[in-house]
């Protein structure tokens, strides 16, 4: 009897060992975006959009890495939910043999438009990120002995995460002292111009082999500490908590992005595009802040001035005591606690308010 029990326990052990060694739900995960998902690509660049210093990364396993919050970004959490054992490496330091699992091309201050973010210094725009992906595809092709069947089969199973556009508003359209876009375009025309570029780059990714794409909508940028700090009582005409002029412009973009996703799904029958509604998710996070454990939603945990939003978190500055009680880590970026919720919603929410027409878990299986 005792022998039988030992055999049984051994089988259980082997099963659980096989489970922990199991493969991720998709072979690879490619990331395009800005500081919300950058994991170190700006570390070697001449830019103010850098975060490889304390207290950024204070709750991250390896300390400051270039991630723009206290811990993991949404794509770090998503990589874990998808079953990856390691985080997806940044393009700037990726090793040749790592590219099969995916690469993170995201760069702080980057936007859809090439000039976006120039006020902060160097970065890799969406266009450059797609060029970097083109180079990576050539590396994979060589690893596959130039077998294009194998290459396209591999790429068609990967998830492509695209979080682009916030800076085209933050560090472009709503920065009229530096950029002319707000006098050149109405919010509607500007959104159309952005989506034209977005669509062209998405087409290039499709041509290169992308078949499972998650397009991430923009959050309530009019409600981030940076914008709350800029919204002085004199120009707070709407009586709202947030800058509704910005939110209105963001909404126009998001509606257009959803339309674009629908069009791509109609036109490319062998691919699946999904829209992740960050705007709804961020509204939910504020509305149900207490239930999510957030007691502070208007102020960054680390920063200077009104709402801790006038100057972003400085090197060696002491952050707030309880990081996970804050929705925002600094003037612009959510805390790891908030990223965990954003990622989980994108991964397995069944509400069409959060994800359309399916979530990332279903996209992995599609
Ligand atoms: C290319 O890869 C495919 C799929 O892995 C395989 O079936 C095929 O035999 C390969 N072709 C060559 C020429 O090696
Ligand atoms: C704008 O005004 C409303 C109503 O007076 C107030 O509740 C809100 O806090 C103000 N927003 C900011 C950012 O000052
Ligand atoms: C920090 O905040 C979280 C979320 O609000 C709460 O659950 C936790 O008890 C707090 N920790 C401390 C030490 O106050
Ligand atoms: C979504 O995934 C999270 C993390 O694995 C899990 O805790 C949660 O129960 C899941 N929710 C649903 C609705 O499946």
Each residue of 293-320: pLDDT tens digit?
Answer: 999 999 999 998 888 888 889 998 999 9
Is 35 among the catalytic positions? yes
Q: What's residue 3's pLDDT?
A: 66
Asked if residue 21 has pLDDT above 90, the reply is: no
Is 333 among the catalytic positions? yes
Task: Report CA-CA distances (Å) from 191 to 67, 176, 260, 347.
Answer: 28, 16, 12, 27
Q: What's residue 312's pLDDT?
A: 85
Q: Is residue 321 part of a domain?
A: no
Task: Give the DSSP per-residue string, 317-333.
Answer: ----S-GGGEEESSSS-
For ligand 3, atom 7, name the residue with the nearest CA. 293
Handedness of CA 65, 70, 71, 76 (dihedral sign): negative
Is 168 among the catalytic positions? no
Q: Is residue 310 part of a domain?
A: no
Q: Is residue 318 part of a domain?
A: no
Asked if residue 232 has pLDDT above 70, the reply is: no
Q: Is residue 303 part of a domain?
A: no
Best of 235, 236, 247 to mutate for ligand 2, by most ligand atoms within 8 A of CB?
236
Handedness of CA 98, 99, 103, 107 (dihedral sign): positive
- At residue 331 the predicted structure's pLDDT band, cuts being 50, 70 and 90, is very high
- Judge if the beta carbon of residue 231 lies within 6 A of ligand 2: yes
Pocket of ligand 3 (CB under 6 A): 293, 295, 322, 324-325
- Alpha-carbon gap, residue 347 to 342, rounded angstroms: 9
Number of compact structural domains in the chain: 1
The answer to whether the CB of 307 falls within 8 A of the CB of 332 is: no
Give me ligand 1 centre to Cα 98, in Å: 22
Pairing state between β 296-300 and 303-304: unpaired
Which among 90, 129, 131, 125 has a CA at the least distance from the CA of 110?
125
Q: Which residue intervals of the chain are DSSP H helices? A: 2-20, 74-81, 126-143, 148-156, 166-168, 181-184, 187-208, 225-230, 244-267, 278-287, 289-292, 336-348, 360-365
Rg of the Cα atoms in the chain? 21
Ligand 4: nearest atom to the Cα of 348? 1
Q: What's residue 310's pLDDT?
A: 82
Domain that holds residue 258: 2-289+336-365
287: burial class by Cβ within 10 Å (0-12, 13-18, 19+)?
exposed
Q: Report, as an integer, the average pLDDT of 128-142.
A: 98
- Alpha-carbon gap, residue 118 to 138, rounded angstroms: 29
Kindly give the interhelix angle for 187-208 and 244-267, rounded to the nearest 10 degrees. 40
Q: Is residue 285 part of a domain?
A: yes
Structure tokens at 237: 């005409």
Give me ligand 4 centre to Cα 348, in Å: 6
- Alpha-carbon gap, residue 202 to 216, rounded angstroms: 13
Q: Is residue 38 part of a domain?
A: yes
Best of 59, 324, 328, 335 to mutate for ligand 3, by most ligand atoms within 8 A of CB?
324
- Alpha-carbon gap, residue 107 to 45, rounded angstroms: 10
For ligand 1, atom 12, name the residue with the nearest CA. 147
Structure tokens at 60: 């991250």
Ligand 4: nearest atom to the Cα of 349? 13
Reading phi first (left if > 0) and then psi (alpha if -120 to 50, else beta), residue 121 is in left
Q: Is residue 301 part of a domain?
A: no
Q: Per this entry, what is the length of the chain?
A: 366
Q: Report, as an integer, the average pLDDT of 161-185.
A: 97
**Domain containing residue 343: CATH number:** 3.40.50
Q: Which residue intervals of 54-210 are DSSP H helices? A: 74-81, 126-143, 148-156, 166-168, 181-184, 187-208
Asked if residue 6 has pLDDT above 80, the reply is: no
Structure tokens at 316: 């060696």
Asked if residue 28 has pLDDT above 70, the reply is: yes
Q: Average pLDDT of the chain?
A: 93
Q: Which of 132, 154, 323, 333 is catalytic?
A: 333
245: burial class by Cβ within 10 Å (0-12, 13-18, 19+)?
middle
Asked if residue 12 has pLDDT above 60, the reply is: no
- At residue 1 the predicted structure's pLDDT band, cuts being 50, 70 and 90, is low
- Judge if the beta carbon of residue 348 lies within 6 A of ligand 4: yes
Which among 216, 223, 224, 113 has a CA at the least distance from the CA of 171?
113
Asked if residue 235 has pLDDT above 60, the reply is: yes
Q: What's residue 231's pLDDT?
A: 80
Q: Is residue 94 part of a domain?
A: yes
72-105: pLDDT as tens digits: 999 999 999 999 999 999 999 999 989 999 999 9
């Amino acid at each position: 009897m005792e022998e039988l029990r030992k055999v049984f326990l051994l089988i259980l052990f082997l099963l659980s060992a096989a489970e922990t060694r199991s493969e991720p739900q998709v072979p690879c995960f490619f990331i395009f975006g800005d500081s919300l998902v950058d994991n170190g690509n700006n570390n070697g660049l001449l830019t103010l959009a850098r975060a490889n210093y304390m207290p950024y990364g204070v709750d991250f396993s390896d300390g400051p890495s270039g991630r723009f919050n206290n811990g993991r970004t949404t794509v770090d959490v998503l990589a874990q939910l998808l079953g990856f054992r390691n985080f997806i490496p940044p393009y700037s330091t990726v090793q040749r043999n790592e590219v099969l699992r995916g690469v993170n091309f995201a760069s702080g201050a980057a936007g859809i438009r090439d000039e976006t973010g120039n006020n902060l210094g160097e970065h890799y725009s969406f266009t450059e990120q797609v060029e970097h992906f083109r180079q990576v595809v050539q590396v994979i092709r060589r690893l596959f002995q130039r077998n294009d069947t194998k290459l396209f089969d591999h790429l068609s199973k990967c998830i492509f995460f695209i979080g682009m556009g916030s800076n085209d508003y933050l560090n472009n359209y709503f920065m009229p002292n530096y950029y002319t876009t707000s006098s050149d375009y109405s919010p509607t025309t500007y959104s159309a111009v952005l989506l034209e570029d977005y669509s062209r780059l998405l087409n290039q990714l499709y041509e290169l082999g992308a078949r499972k794409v998650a397009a991430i909508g923009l959050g309530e940028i009019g409600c981030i500490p940076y914008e709350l700090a800029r919204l002085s009582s004199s120009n707070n005409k709407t009586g709202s908590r947030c800058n509704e002029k910005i939110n209105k412009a963001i909404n126009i973009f998001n509606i257009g992005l959803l339309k674009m996703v629908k069009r791509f799904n109609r036109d490319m029958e062998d691919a699946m595009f999904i829209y992740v509604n960050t705007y709804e998710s961020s509204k939910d996070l504020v509305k149900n802040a207490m239930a999510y454990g957030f007691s502070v939603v208007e102020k960054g945990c680390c920063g200077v001035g009104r709402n801790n939003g006038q100057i972003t978190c400085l090197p060696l500055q002491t952050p707030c005591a309880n990081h996970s009680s804050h929705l925002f880590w600094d003037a612009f970026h959510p805390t790891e606690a908030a990223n965990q919720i954003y990622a989980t919603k994108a991964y397995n929410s069944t509400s069409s308010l959060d994800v359309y027409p399916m979530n990332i878990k279903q996209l992995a299986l599609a």
